[in-house]
Amino acid sequence: MTVRIVPVTTLDPAPDAAALAQAWNDVLVATTVATMGDDHDAWSLASRRAREASTSWSHRYFAAVAEVDGADRVVAAAELMLPLHDNEELALLDVCVAPEHRRRGIGTLVHDHLTALAREAGRTTFVAETAYLKDGTDPGEGFLERQGFALAQTMLRNDLDLTDLDRTALTPRNGSATAGYVIETSTDDTLDEWLEDRAHLQRRMSTDSPVGDLEFHEEGWDADRLRAQRETTRQSGRRAFESVARHSGSGRLVAFTQLQVPTAEPVLAYQQDTLVLREHRGHGLGAAVKAANLAALRRELPQARTVRTWNAQENGPMILVNEAIGFRTTATLREWQRRRG
C-alpha cells in the first residue's frame, strides 16, 4: 500500500479541503471510539477549527492517504502541537491509524513525519497521550514504547453524575472557613475585570499543579492571551462557567475554577482548571468555587447530566475535593515523553 502524508486544514471552506478535513476528523473519532467506545472525548470539528486558529499554539493537522478499494481514503490522522508562548522545546504528537489499517507501519511513518517537522522547529522533548476505559488497554502504549517514549504521568478521568448528586456536597461552605473571601460566578467565561488577576492564577496553574515526570515549564499568561483563549472557547461552540474567590482584605482573586460545555451537546460538561493560591489554601476555597460553579451549571443548563474532569493520580488534595462532591473514576489517561527528540 502506498501511503502519502498530506497537510489538512479545517479553515479552508473549498469543497475538496472541507471534505478532506471531515474525513480526517472521522478517522480521529473512529480511532477514539475503537478504544473508548461511545463514551469518548474526541474533539468536534468545530473545536479542531478553533484550535487551528489559535495564536498561543501551532496546531498542524495531517492525513495519511492511500488507495483502498480503488479510491483514495484517509487511513490515519495526526496532529502536531507546538506551544508558541513558552515551553519552546516541547512538541505534542497525536497519531491515529484507522483500526483496519494497523500493524502495517503506517503509525511509524506518520510518527516519523511529525517528529522530523518538530525537530525542524527546534523541538527536543516529545509528548504523546494514551487513554483507555477503566480496566481497558490502549494499543498506543506498545507503539509509544517502541518509539522510545517512557511513561511520565498517569491521570484519572473522573465523572460526576449530576442526576444522582448529593445536594449537600454542593452547599457552599460559607461561615468561618471561607469568611474573608467572596465567591463570584460568571456564566459567560472569564469577565474582563478578572483578566489581570486570572492571568496570574493561570501562570501559577502551570507551576503548582503536579506534572509527574513531564518537562513542562511555567507558562506565560497575560490578559491578551486569556482574551484569545476566551475567543477559542466561543469559536469551539462551548460555553464556559467560571467561579472565583476574591480575598476581601486585598480585593485580589486567589482561586478559580472553570467548566466548559459544548452547546451542541450540553449533556456533558468538562471541568477545566481549578487553582487556589498556596497562601490561601486550607479555607475550603477549592470546594467553594466548585460548588458555586456546579450550582450555576445546574441553573443555566439543567440538561447537563455528567461533569468530567482529569486529575493527576498523585494530586491527592484535588481528588479528595472531587470524591467528596461525588466524582468517580471512569477512565485512565497517560502521558508519555521522549527527551532529546
Q: Which residues bind ligand COA (CB under 6 A)?
A: 31, 35, 93-97, 102-108, 128, 130, 138-140, 142-144, 146
Closer Cβ to ligand COA, 140 or 286, answer by number: 140
C-alpha cell at 13: 471552506
Please state the closest distance from residue 93 (CB atom) to ligand COA, in A.
5
Please state the closest distance from residue 113 (CB atom) to ligand COA, in A.
12
Closer Cβ to ligand COA, 98 or 240, answer by number: 98
Closer Cβ to ligand COA, 237 or 341, answer by number: 341
Which candidate, 8, 128, 13, places its Cα nearest to that of 62?
8
Closer Cβ to ligand COA, 3 or 17, answer by number: 3
Closer Cβ to ligand COA, 100 or 279, answer by number: 100
Secondary structure of 8-73 in HEC code, one letter for each residue: ECCCCCCHHHHHHHHHHHHHHHHHHHHHHCCCCCCCCHHHHHHHHCCCCEEEEEEEEEEEECCEEE
Please state the closest distance from residue 105 (CB atom) to ligand COA, in A.
5
Distances (CA, A) of 305 to 104, 272, 288: 41, 17, 21
Distances (CA, A) of 214 to 147, 204, 235: 17, 17, 30
Please state the closest distance from residue 54 (CB atom) to ligand COA, in A.
20
Cα 312 to chain centroid, rounded: 13
Please state the closest distance from residue 99 (CB atom) to ligand COA, in A.
8
- Residue 128: count other Cβ atoms within 10 Å of its Cβ: 22
